[in-house]
């Protein structure tokens, strides 16, 4: 599982930052990728990566401000041409209104997609997706319009089969191995061995929480609790705490407080105001690290492996 940031800026593009968008790569886990927000020129940023648009089969939109959605019509259109002959469906999750925005843009531009979009409009907290390997939960944040954060949880995996132990008992490879891993006890010469004797420790799934724009809140902390990685906006520095609160945004200090209270493994800060140069970025990181050591301000196209 990896995260790659396509855009890490707030409000409008800057020379060194595009606006909000990131991709959660689940290539080993599911052979697919999930896009979170799709700011202007997200598809151009993708061209500088190894990401294949046809692998993106889920898009999660935190809220309907332009710097988070203006790249969506273009990406959806290009995905038709960048896919192979087999067009794969796409699930789009977002606040109420996202369907109208997308369908209006496609209709007015007379754009015809080669694949269906399944819209999932969100109006309240709760589970928005679940299958045998992952689940995604959404929770409303504190912003000027309806805005969601998403908690992505990989489900625990059964431990590896201890093949050497089975061979030591003279058990040959074959269908019996699959039955043991499925929990069936092993019978040898009248002796019954529980399947757990031959299965390694459960591999705990990873948890990633990706927040949209928000003030610091109890809801943010609750959603992020125990995450391996928290992606949190840090639009302003601590000198602009009042401005941040007025505009329903967070400072680097706010982000660090959420990370500390939620006991996350790592904090990745994005949605940085264009007023901050590279030097200012280091200052934002320093402020956060004073409260939560595992803090980092991310740059466009940076990629992080979730350990």
Strand, coil or helix: 129: strand
Residue 114: phi and psi, rounded to 5, are -90, 10
Strand, coil or helix: 205: coil
Cα dihedral 24/130/224/22 (nearest 10): 20
Task: Name residue, tokens 């500088």.
Answer: 48
CB-CB contact of 268 with 232 (8 Å): yes
Q: Would you please indicate which residues are annotated as catalytic (active-site) residues?
A: 67
Select from 284, 285, 226 the least CA-distant residue to 258: 226
Residue 196: phi and psi, rounded to 5, are -60, -20
Strand, coil or helix: 213: coil
The C-alpha atoms of residue 6 and residue 123 are separated, in whole angstroms, by 27
The C-alpha atoms of residue 278 and residue 269 are separated, in whole angstroms, by 14
The C-alpha atoms of residue 255 and residue 234 are separated, in whole angstroms, by 6
| 295-297 and 21-26 beta bridge pairing | unpaired
**Alpha-carbon torsion (41, 3, 146, 291), positive or negative:** negative
Residue 210's beta-bridge partner residues? 150, 231
Distances (CA, A) of 302 to 294, 297, 299: 16, 10, 6
């Amino acid at each position: 599982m990896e995260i790659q940031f396509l855009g890490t800026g707030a409000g409008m593009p800057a020379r060194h930052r595009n606006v909000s968008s990131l991709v959660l790569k689940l290539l080993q886990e599911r052979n697919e990728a999930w896009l979170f927000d799709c700011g202007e020129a997200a598809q151009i940023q993708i061209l500088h990566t190894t990401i294949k648009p046809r692998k993106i089969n889920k898009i999660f939109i935190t809220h309907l401000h332009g710097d988070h959605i203006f790249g969506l019509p273009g990406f959806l259109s290009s995905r038709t041409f960048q896919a192979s002959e087999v067009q794969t469906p796409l699930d789009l999750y977002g606040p109420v209104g996202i369907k109208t925005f997308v369908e209006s843009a496609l209709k007015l531009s007379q754009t015809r997609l080669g694949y269906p979009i399944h819209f999932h409009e969100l109006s309240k907290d709760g589970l928005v997706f679940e299958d045998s390997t992952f689940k995604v939960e959404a929770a409303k944040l504190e912003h000027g319009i309806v805005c969601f954060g998403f908690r992505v949880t990989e489900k625990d995996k059964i431990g590896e089969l201890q093949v050497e132990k089975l061979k030591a008992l003279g058990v040959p490879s074959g269908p019996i191995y699959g039955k043991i891993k499925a929990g069936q006890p092993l019978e040898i010469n009248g002796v019954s061995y529980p399947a757990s004797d031959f299965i390694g420790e459960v591999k705990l799934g990873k948890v990633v929480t990706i927040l949209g724009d928000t003030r610091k809140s109890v809801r943010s902390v609750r959603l992020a609790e125990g995450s391996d990685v928290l992606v949190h906006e840090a639009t302003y520095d601590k000198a602009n705490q009042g401005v941040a609160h007025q505009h329903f945004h967070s400072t680097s200090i706010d982000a660090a407080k959420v990370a500390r209270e939620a006991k996350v493994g790592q904090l990745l800060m994005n949605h940085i105001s264009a007023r901050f140069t590279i030097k200012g970025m280091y200052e934002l990181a320093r402020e956060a690290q004073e409260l939560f050591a595992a803090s980092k301000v991310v740059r466009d196209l940076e990629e992080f492996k979730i350990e």
